[in-house]
Structures are given as structure tokens and as C-alpha cells.
Structure 1
Amino acid sequence: MSDLDRHKIITDLLRERSFASVRDLQELLGVSAATIRRDIDKLDEIGVARKVYGGISSSQGLETHQLSARPYDENRDIAVEAKRAIAECAETLVRDGDSVIVHAGSTCYYLGIRLARRNVRIYTNSMPLAAHLGEHGTCQVTLAGGDLYREPGIVHAVQGGKPAYFASKFFLGTQGISPEGLLESHPLLVKAISELSQCSDEIVVLADSRKFAIRPRNIVLPLSRIGTLVTDDGLSDANAKMLEDAGVNIIVASTSGEWN
């Protein structure tokens, strides 16, 4: 197979998915890791795709920041492999006996179901997660009080203020990430996250690498408030540096099953 043939297969694959690891491409193309890395370097050089940590990412739309935020029911079926890997990695941050807050959202949902039978106490404002924990879990569950807002998919008491609950860690997702901080499009999420952020020792963000290209209009929390961010191996070097410069601890959950 020629270089051009491999490059076409890789670019065609990136039209269907946003990231491919070196291992994925080795299995697909039947060549060495060194050959794949040379292909990645070439595609990055000519601007067809981006070389990122652990593999290659589609460049379409990422530099113009035109990707839009999606509601929960659409977002939950996107980047599922990455979200599950992030959740598996994030679970290792929870110790038996911990009290944690697990915010609404699809990646946090995957974390919540992994904690369902752990000896932990979970506070959540997610109705889907609460329903799963009620039916399948043995952990202690505290559900946020208030009204159900189907969009953005949380239970919240608008006049209630921050809950009387304190946790070692607050796990949350985000619609977008920029140098200014975590971004959301819905004002209610801004309020809910701001309140819950006052109720924990550490804030842990679970965000797949697509989120660095999405630019909702509302700043929720500055990067300086974030203790740890767990993401997938599509994280670019530039975004990793942005986080490190802000003092954020980065954990990369590999979709191939190897963590960094």
C-alpha cells in the first residue's frame, strides 16, 4: 500500500470520527507504529489533519471554533468510547467512603454508573443518573431538590442557593473550554455549577477533547478553579499547555485502554 493510499484511508476515517490513535491506525492499515507516525506527521504538515497526543485528529472546524453545543439527549451518543474511558479513569480518583458530587451530563453519567455499587455517597442533579442509581446501585444517593428542567436536563431550585452538602470532589462536564475557563450555553447551568463549586474540596472536569473547539457564550468557572481535568488522547499539545499554564492537573484516558 502506498503512502497516498494510507493517507486517503486515514482522512476518510477522520470524516467519520474526530480522533484515531496510532494503535487504531496500525490495526486498520497493517503497518508499523513508526510508519503511522510518519503518516501523521505528513498529514499534519500539509494541514489535512492535526497531530495530537497519541494519534491524529480531524482539523475540520477546530480552528474556527464553529462547533456548537448540543442538548443532553443528542450529546449522550457522541464520542461514547472516549466518555467511557474518561469515566473509567475518573473512577480511580474516588476512594471508598468518599462523598462526591456528580453533575448532570453524559460523561458524568458514565462515571455515576461506575460508582453505583461503590461504598460512596453521591449527590447528583441528574434525573437519569438518580434513576439508574435507584434501580441498580447500592451507594448512598442524595438528589438535588427543585424543579426538573428537561433542557438543560437538571433538577434545580432556582431560589434555593447552594445545597447543604459537602464533598471531597465535584465532578462535572462542560460544553466548551477556552483560556477563559469552562463555558456553557444555558444560564441555568452557569448558576447550578457556580453553587455546587462552593460545596467541594476539589473540582474535577470530565471533558472529551472535542470540547476545546466548542465556544458557548457563558463563562462558568475560570481554569484556575479547576484542580484536575480528565480528557481523552485527542488532547492537542497547545491545549495541554494552556491547562498546565493555568495549574490544572491533566489526566489523559486513552481509548486504547492505557492512561497517562
Structure 2
Amino acid sequence: MNEPERWKKIVEILNKRQFATVKDLTEILDSSPATVRRDIAKLHETGRVRKVFGGIALAGGAAPEHTPAKPFEANRLIHIDKKEAIAAEAEKLCQDGDSIIVLGGTSCFLFARRLAGRGIKICTNSMPLAACLFEQSACHLTVVGGELHREPGILYSPDTPAPGFYASRLFIGAQGINGSGLLESHPGVVRAVNALQEQADEVVVLADSSKFAIKARHISLPLSRISTLITDAGITDEDADMLRGAGIDVVIAPTPAPDE
């Protein structure tokens, strides 16, 4: 496949998927990582695509019916101010001595990192969070076993039993949210959520307002399982009413102004 053919194929892929990693393109194009990176750099210069954390995205264009999940690293700096504000509100729900489960995702990562110096027991399936807490805290940490799924950064294997860890609250993010519940593209994430939500009394969702515009294929949790959802002021009245109609306590995290 020559360069023009690869470029055409890359744009076709992004029209369908909106985001792709170098590994994705290497496999699809049957090209070396070096060749793919050169193609990405040249396409970026033309303005047809843009380089983002973890891969490449289409410059503009309509979103596909289902949006693929971005890797953990690609999400770390997206809507960071809103996620930090949501994490601060979530911290208020925790008291020293609590036992909580914190699942994968960047909002949950930012939240749990705030608990590093507190006397709280944390169970997680997030490899980035486990590594962070190992390095930066002395909290009681339980890590769920299983294979590492690198893009979402979680540990999960279907034959690994759930840990003997029971929590007052499970904190969870979501790729998308609609009237059916929390949405995810990665089936491993869905199965991991289903297993661990059985270990907690309440479920608290940490989700910035952009999540309500994202579609994904799988329902990880129905709205009926959620007690509280913490988001930002960008949530629409329609989405807030949908959540409250399902019996969910909606908490709006104040986001600091840029000059504050």
C-alpha cells in the first residue's frame, strides 16, 4: 500500500471511528509503526487530521453513531478543570475509615488521588490508580486481579473471582450516559463493572457534562443502580431531569473561572 492509499484509508477509518491509536493503524494498514507515525505527522500538517494524546483524530466532522472509547492516557487532559472539580465534590462524600471501590477512568483517578493521605480503604481495578497510590500514599489498597487491558487501563479476567472487599460506595465513571444507563464500548469494562458493583451498597458516578452527548454500544449499569451522579454546570436541564426522575441525586460541581 503506497502513501496516498494509506492516507485515504486512515481518513476512512477516522470517519468511522473518530479516534485511532498508532497500534490500531499499524495492524489495519499492515505497516510499520515508523511509517504510520510519518503518515500521521504529514496528515496533521495538511489539517485533515489532528494528533492527540494516545493517537490521532479527525479534524472536525460529524460524530459517528457510536463513539469508540479513548485510551486512559488520551483522556487525562480532556475537560481537566471539570474533572478536578467533580473529584473535589466526590471527596466530600468520604470519611476516614470508609471502605470504597474506585473503578478505572480519569475522573475516578483524580478523585482517588485526593484520598492518598487519608485513612480510607480503597479497592480498585485501575492499573494507573494502583501505581499512583503505591508511589504516593500509605492507604490500605486492594487491587483487583486479572489481565491488563491496556487502553482502558483496567485489570479484569472473567475467571478471576471478585475480591472479598465490601464497600459503602463504588465510584465509577462512564464513557457515555443516556436514559438507559451508563454506556461503554469496551466489553471488558462492562463485565468488570457488573462484577464489582455487587460488592458495594451505593454507586456514585463521576461524569462531566460532555458524557451525555456520547453514544456507546453497551450498558454497564442501569440508572436504577445509581444513587448519586456528580457532574458540572454544563449539564442540560433535560439530562438533569432525566436523572432526577430515575431517583438519582444530582450534584453540580462548581468549576472555577479561568482567572480564579
TM range (shorter): 0.7 to 0.9
* 2: CA distance, partners of 1:132 / 1:88: 18
Provide closer, same or farther for how the CA distance between residues 161 and 211 of structure 1 changes in structure 2, counting only shifts above 3 A. same
Deviation (angstroms), 1:156? 1.6
**Which residue in 2 is equivalent to 1:4?**
none
**Which residue in 1 is equivalent to 2:139?**
139
Deviation (angstroms), 1:84? 0.5
Provide closer, same or farther for how the CA distance between residues 212 and 151 of structure 1 changes in structure 2, counting only shifts above 3 A. same
Partner-residue secondary structure (3-state), 1:159: coil
Deviation (angstroms), 1:76? 1.3
Deviation (angstroms), 1:70? 1.8
Provide closer, same or farther for how the CA distance between residues 238 and 61 of structure 1 changes in structure 2, counting only shifts above 3 A. farther
**Which residue in 2 is equivalent to 1:69?**
69
**Which residue in 2 is equivalent to 1:87?**
87
Deviation (angstroms), 1:71? 2.0
Deviation (angstroms), 1:63? 10
**Higher relative contact order, chain-length normalized (CA < 8 Å, sep 6+):** 1
TM-score by length of 1: 0.72
1:229 lines up with 2:243 in the alignment: no
Range with greater deviation from structure 2 (234-243 or 129-138): 129-138
Amino acid at match of 1:162: A
* 1: CA distance, partners of 2:251 / 2:240: 10
Question: After the TM superposition, which residues 130-169 of structure 1 pair with which residues of structure 2 at under 5 Å, given as runs?
Answer: 130-169=130-169
Amino acid at match of 1:248: I
Provide closer, same or farther for how the CA distance between residues 137 and 214 of structure 1 changes in structure 2, counting only shifts above 3 A. same
Amino acid at match of 1:204: V
Partner-residue secondary structure (3-state), 2:183: strand
Deviation (angstroms), 1:64? 8.8
**Structure 1: tracts of 5 or more residues without a match:** 1-59
Deviation (angstroms), 1:248? 0.5
Question: After the TM superposition, which residues 13-28 of structure 1 pair with which residues of structure 2 at under 5 Å, given as runs?
Answer: none
Q: Deviations over 1:34-76 (max 9, x none)?
A: xxxxxxxxxxxxxxxxxxxxxxxxxx99999775532212111
Amino acid at match of 1:91: E
Query: How many positions carry a matched residue from both structures?
Result: 198
Kept in 2: contact 1:175–1:214 (CA 8 A): yes
* 1: CA distance, partners of 2:134 / 2:102: 15
Kept in 2: contact 1:177–1:215 (CA 8 A): yes
Kept in 2: contact 1:148–1:154 (CA 8 A): yes
Kept in 2: contact 1:116–1:139 (CA 8 A): yes
Range with greater deviation from structure 2 (65-74 or 143-152): 65-74
* 1: CA distance, partners of 2:94 / 2:101: 11
1:104 lines up with 2:104 in the alignment: yes
**Which residue in 1 is equivalent to 2:213?**
213
* 1: CA distance, partners of 2:148 / 2:63: 36
Kept in 1: contact 2:144–2:156 (CA 8 A): yes
RMSD: 2.0
TM-score by length of 2: 0.72
**Structure 2: tracts of 5 or more residues without a match:** 1-59
Percent identity over paired residues: 49
* 1: CA distance, partners of 2:253 / 2:64: 26
Kept in 2: contact 1:68–1:214 (CA 8 A): no
**Which residue in 2 is equivalent to 1:193?**
193
Kept in 2: contact 1:69–1:214 (CA 8 A): no
Amino acid at match of 1:135: E
